[in-house]
Amino acid sequence: AWVTEAARKGLLWPHLAPARGTAAEARAPDRCYSSADRKEKIDMSCFPVENIRNFSIIAHVDHGKSTLADRLLELTGAIDKTKNNKQVLDKLQVERERGITVKAQTASLFYNYEGKQYLLNLIDTPGHVDFSYEVSRSLSACQGVLLVVDANEGIQAQTVANFFLAFEAQLSIIPVINKIDLKNADPERVEKQIEKVFDIPGDECIKISAKLGTNVESVLDAVIKRIPLYAGQVGYLIAGMKDVTEAQIGDTLYLHKQPVEPLPGFKSAKPMVFAGMYPVDQSEYNNLKSAIEKLTLNDSSVVVHRDSSLALGAGWRLGFLGLLHMEVFNQRLEQEYNASVILTTPTVPYKAVLSSAKLMKEYREKEITIINPAQFPDKSKVTEYLEPVVLGTIITPDEYTGKIMMLCQARRAVQKNMMYIDQNRVMLKYLFPLNEIVVDFYDSLKSLSSGYASFDYEDAGYQTAELVKMDILLNGSIVEELVTVVHKDKAYSVGKAICERLKDSLPRQLFEIAIQAALGSKIIARETVKAYRKNVLAKCYGGDITRKMKLLKRQAEGKKKLRKVGNVEVPKDAFIKVLKTQSDK
């Protein structure tokens, strides 16, 4: 009865209430992990509100969220206890291969506590900054979180970011110190950090080993005791919608003709990097289009605009939350949809303030956002360029602080704050131009701190910047994938580095190849690849014609994977190698 009553009041999660529209069907969560559930159908409506808990697990990457989820699933009998239960909720191939969570996953657990049956709806969330959108979505469906912190590594940058997401959402926060079994674990030190940075009394921390299952039961007890009560359920809604844009995440659904006070919703995902995506072969356009549509249904944080280029044909410009997000999307396209694509240099969304009324009329705006470097307006049309900036948080052992400060300076960052979170760990806050960190800042930070420093960032608006468009040419033809916008002071070093990288990744061909970086007509860097002929038949002694034919066929197949820029043949992965390492030079 409470379900009907709550639905009438608009208090329920959508799957239990009939949705607006005609072709809507409602049902209970289909991922009810319960041993009991396997034998008999559990009537979800028999759970009074006070016996339901909706909670999320949040943490810095690799601190053990998915492992803790495995133990919770086992402890509640949702899955059988076996040695093979490793990151059970990480289902995507890309998640298993990379060992990271990309999509938040839900599971409903049934748990008997002090004679009462409870329904615990668990959401396992990703830890990487690129997927924090998934975290904020998950949190809006919860009343509490388990904030997992590694007992050896202590508080890291994403621990701080995730804590504040939960704190701002006014959720109950249960700190869980994990991996106490590790030789170097120091749970007491981490407890003090939690007290200092988050102002949570140390005795509220639960110390566990998710791997061994030590003390995990106390986590479930705390979920029941410390997380408040709230009308709500996690579930699914099947509606007759044709297009993903018809429903925005955060929408409130209500009974037809009985509007309710809408839920506040939350900030929509804001793409941080854009890249062009084109089919390797234009005949693949429709297949790729359908693959992108299906994948964005599953990941609505990707923004899609149609785009076209003279060299690459018809394609799209996609907006991602970060570079890892872009790589994962690309990998999912390949693995789940067998699609093969060309990706252009990722760029951040720059802005330009137009200089004349005529231009403003032409663009229908005073200030334009540039997500495609090929459309970067010339300086004569612009009064100023603006670049996006982010507030970055770095947590590091203090012995690396000096080197990190130098790295930040080289990336044009401005220091905003510095504080010790314990005797030898420092938290630094810097304002970074987004394009300085988007490609490989994290890798540089990790390598100069022997892997100990962590990094997270949040959007901080725009600042004025002196920007220029840079072309890369192969024997005089522009490489569309590598057109980029750079800060004026960095043009020479970035151009030189791209040319050098490209030289290393281009195979020699029958003629000499000139690799050039140019600002307009001005060449600022050049490298040369010497001529060479690859004789695939060199290994064929004697006259075995079938063997010769086989080798020639293999060479022809290899050529299909090449892209032609002017007269130069470029292997697809050559650009990716260049993109991955370009920004630090």
Ligand X SMILES: Nc1nc2c(ncn2[C@@H]2O[C@H](COP(=O)(O)OP(=O)(O)OP(=O)(O)O)[C@@H](O)[C@H]2O)c(=O)[nH]1
Binding site feature residues for GTP: 59-66, 124-128, 178-181
**Which amino acid belongs to residue 137?**
R
Shortest distance in whole angstroms from residue 102 CB to ligand X:
8
Is residue 186 close enough to count as binding ligand X by CB under 6 A? Answer: no
438: Cβ–Cβ under 8 A, 6 or more apart, which residues? 272, 273, 322, 323, 346, 348, 583
Question: What span, in angstroms and rounded, lies between the C-alpha atoms of 191 and 509?
Answer: 61
Is residue 373 close enough to count as binding ligand X by CB under 6 A? Answer: no
Judged by beta carbon, residue 34 or residue 178, the one nearer ligand X is 178
Question: What span, in angstroms and rounded, lies between the C-alpha atoms of 436 and 458?
Answer: 14
Place of tokens 């994962």: 328
Is residue 209 close enough to count as binding ligand X by CB under 6 A? Answer: yes
Is residue 76 close enough to count as binding ligand X by CB under 6 A? Answer: no
Among 44, 61, 122, 485, binds ligand X (CB under 6 A): 61
Angstrom CA distances, 236 to 229, 240, 261, stand at 21, 13, 21
Is residue 127 close enough to count as binding ligand X by CB under 6 A? Answer: yes
Beta strands (DSSP E) in 49-127 are 52-59, 105-113, 116-124
Shortest distance in whole angstroms from residue 432 CB to ligand X:
23
Among 42, 182, 304, 391, binds ligand X (CB under 6 A): 182
Question: What span, in angstroms and rounded, lies between the C-alpha atoms of 57 and 87?
Answer: 13
Among 34, 56, 87, 301, binds ligand X (CB under 6 A): 87
Judged by beta carbon, residue 63 or residue 501, the one nearer ligand X is 63
- Cα-only R_g, the chain: 27
**Which amino acid belongs to residue 171?**
L
Between strands 454-465 and 382-397, the pairing is antiparallel
Judged by beta carbon, residue 156 or residue 372, the one nearer ligand X is 156
Judged by beta carbon, residue 62 or residue 422, the one nearer ligand X is 62
Is residue 317 close enough to count as binding ligand X by CB under 6 A? Answer: no
Is residue 65 close enough to count as binding ligand X by CB under 6 A? Answer: yes
Judged by beta carbon, residue 151 or residue 515, the one nearer ligand X is 151
Residue list, annotated binding site: 59-66, 124-128, 178-181
Shortest distance in whole angstroms from residue 131 CB to ligand X:
8
**DSSP 3-state of 504:** helix
Is residue 67 close enough to count as binding ligand X by CB under 6 A? Answer: yes
Among 66, 347, 454, 509, binds ligand X (CB under 6 A): 66
Cβ contact 513:529 at 8 Å: yes
User: Three-class SS string for 113-181?
Assistant: ECCEEEEEEEEECCCCHHHHHHHHHHHCCCCEEEEEEECCCCCCHHHHHHHHHHHHCCCEEEEEEECCC
Cβ contact 147:444 at 8 Å: no
Is residue 195 close enough to count as binding ligand X by CB under 6 A? Answer: no
Among 179, 207, 469, 563, binds ligand X (CB under 6 A): 179
Q: What's the helix, strand, coil split of the chain in %, to 5?
A: 35, 30, 35
Among 165, 210, 486, 517, binds ligand X (CB under 6 A): 210
Question: What span, in angstroms and rounded, lies between the C-alpha atoms of 162 and 171?
Answer: 12
Question: What span, in angstroms and rounded, lies between the C-alpha atoms of 283 and 288?
Answer: 10
**DSSP 3-state of 476:** coil
Cβ contact 91:66 at 8 Å: no
Judged by beta carbon, residue 210 or residue 303, the one nearer ligand X is 210
Judged by beta carbon, residue 153 or residue 387, the one nearer ligand X is 153
Task: Choose the binding region for ligand X from 176-184, 317-325, 326-334, 444-452 (rule: CB under 6 A).
Answer: 176-184
Angstrom CA distances, 503 to 529, 575, 583, stand at 6, 11, 16
Judged by beta carbon, residue 131 or residue 350, the one nearer ligand X is 131
Shortest distance in whole angstroms from residue 126 CB to ligand X:
6
Closest CA to 249 of 303, 300, 293, 322: 300
Question: What span, in angstroms and rounded, lies between the C-alpha atoms of 189 and 187?
Answer: 5
Shortest distance in whole angstroms from residue 456 CB to ligand X:
13
Is residue 178 close enough to count as binding ligand X by CB under 6 A? Answer: yes
Task: Choose the binding region for ligand X from 41-49, 63-71, 76-84, 486-494 (rule: CB under 6 A).
Answer: 63-71
Task: Choose the binding region for ligand X from 97-105, 375-383, 402-410, 573-581 (rule: CB under 6 A).
Answer: 97-105
Task: Choose the binding region for ligand X from 60-68, 228-236, 449-457, 482-490 (rule: CB under 6 A).
Answer: 60-68
Among 62, 186, 217, 284, binds ligand X (CB under 6 A): 62
Residues 21-50 that bind ligand X (CB under 6 A): none
Cβ contact 326:352 at 8 Å: no
Among 34, 54, 56, 101, binds ligand X (CB under 6 A): 101
Among 10, 14, 77, 126, binds ligand X (CB under 6 A): 126
Place of tokens 């990703």: 126
Shortest distance in whole angstroms from residue 67 CB to ligand X:
3
Is residue 181 close enough to count as binding ligand X by CB under 6 A? Answer: yes
Shortest distance in whole angstroms from residue 155 CB to ligand X:
14
Q: Which residue is nearest to ligand X (CB)?
A: 127
For 254, list phi and psi in degrees, rounded to 5.
Answer: -145, 170
Shortest distance in whole angstroms from residue 173 CB to ligand X:
17
Among 63, 332, 469, 490, binds ligand X (CB under 6 A): 63
Shortest distance in whole angstroms from residue 184 CB to ligand X:
10
Question: What span, in angstroms and rounded, lies between the C-alpha atoms of 276 and 345?
Answer: 8
Cβ contact 179:150 at 8 Å: yes
Judged by beta carbon, residue 95 or residue 387, the one nearer ligand X is 95
Number of residues that bind ligand X (CB under 6 A): 21
Question: What span, in angstroms and rounded, lies between the C-alpha atoms of 171 and 168?
Answer: 8
Judged by beta carbon, residue 103 or residue 563, the one nearer ligand X is 103
CB atoms within 10 A of CB 357: 9
Question: What span, in angstroms and rounded, lies between the C-alpha atoms of 252 and 264?
Answer: 9
Question: What span, in angstroms and rounded, lies between the C-alpha atoms of 38 and 147?
Answer: 31
Shortest distance in whole angstroms from residue 162 CB to ligand X:
10
Judged by beta carbon, residue 65 or residue 412, the one nearer ligand X is 65
Is residue 64 close enough to count as binding ligand X by CB under 6 A? Answer: yes
The residues binding ligand X (CB under 6 A) are 59, 61-67, 87, 99-101, 126-127, 178-179, 181-182, 209-211
